[in-house]
Amino acid sequence: MKTKCRSSRELIRLDRVVSLVFDIRARDFHHPSKKRISVEPRLVAMYLQKELLGKSYPAIARYFGKKAHSTCHSAHRTAAALFETDPLFRQKVLECIELYNNYEIDRFKQRYNLHFLIAREGIRVSGPECTIYLPAEKYESLDGILRERIDRLIKKHNYALQLTII
């Protein structure tokens, strides 16, 4: 059930899923409020970060702005106990897990993804390798917004540029 969490993208996705199930904004359950409406989603989010993503308690505490990881440990124990005893809570957690596993990126938002925009121009971009593969003859003729997008990936996101020969 646990997977290695490689980026904050999974954390944001998990926040969206929890906010959908509990019908609350993510920033509301990240706020240190003690109201029941925000406590329960926060419990579920902390519990699922540990169970689904395998995050450590100190990492979860940092993500939620808590000072001590013992808060997250306590939240995990409480959520696990509620999961076993409260059928409504169990149903909501299982719904969150199902939504998280079936979550798909909105195609409209993908238009703003740099990888998508560069690949649309026929240039191969590898996210796991952090490399942009570009034909050498095409590199000199790059200009405008495409050049800016490639430079942004290289400078801001530490991508390597690999010139290829066709």
The answer on 76 and 32 residing in a single domain is yes
pLDDT for 109 equals 54
Q: Out of 27-31, 71-75, 77-81, which region has the weakest mean confidence (pLDDT)?
A: 27-31
Q: Confidence band (pLDDT; 50, 70, 90) for 138?
A: confident
Compute the average pLDDT of residues 25-38: 82
C-alpha distances in Å from residue 25, one per residue of 6, 15, 102, 132: 24, 9, 20, 36
Mean pLDDT rounded to a whole number for the chain: 83
User: Would 2 be classed as within a structural domain?
Assistant: no
State which of 56, 79, 104 marks the end of a domain: 104
State which of 58, 79, 104 marks the end of a domain: 104
Residue 136 belongs to what domain range?
109-164
Alpha carbon distance 115, 120 (integer Å): 8
The answer on 141 and 62 residing in a single domain is no
The answer on 20 and 86 residing in a single domain is yes
State which of 89, 104, 119 marks the end of a domain: 104
User: Would 1 be classed as within a structural domain?
Assistant: no
Number of compact structural domains in the chain? 2
* Sign of the torsion angle spanned by Cα atoms 43, 39, 22, 8: negative
Q: What is the pTM for the complete model shown?
A: 0.60
Residue 85, domain CATH = 1.10.1750.10
Alpha carbon distance 159, 166 (integer Å): 21
The answer on 125 and 83 residing in a single domain is no
The answer on 114 and 100 residing in a single domain is no
Taking alpha carbons only, the member of 125, 128, 109 closest to residue 161 is: 125
Higher pLDDT residue, 82 or 6? 82
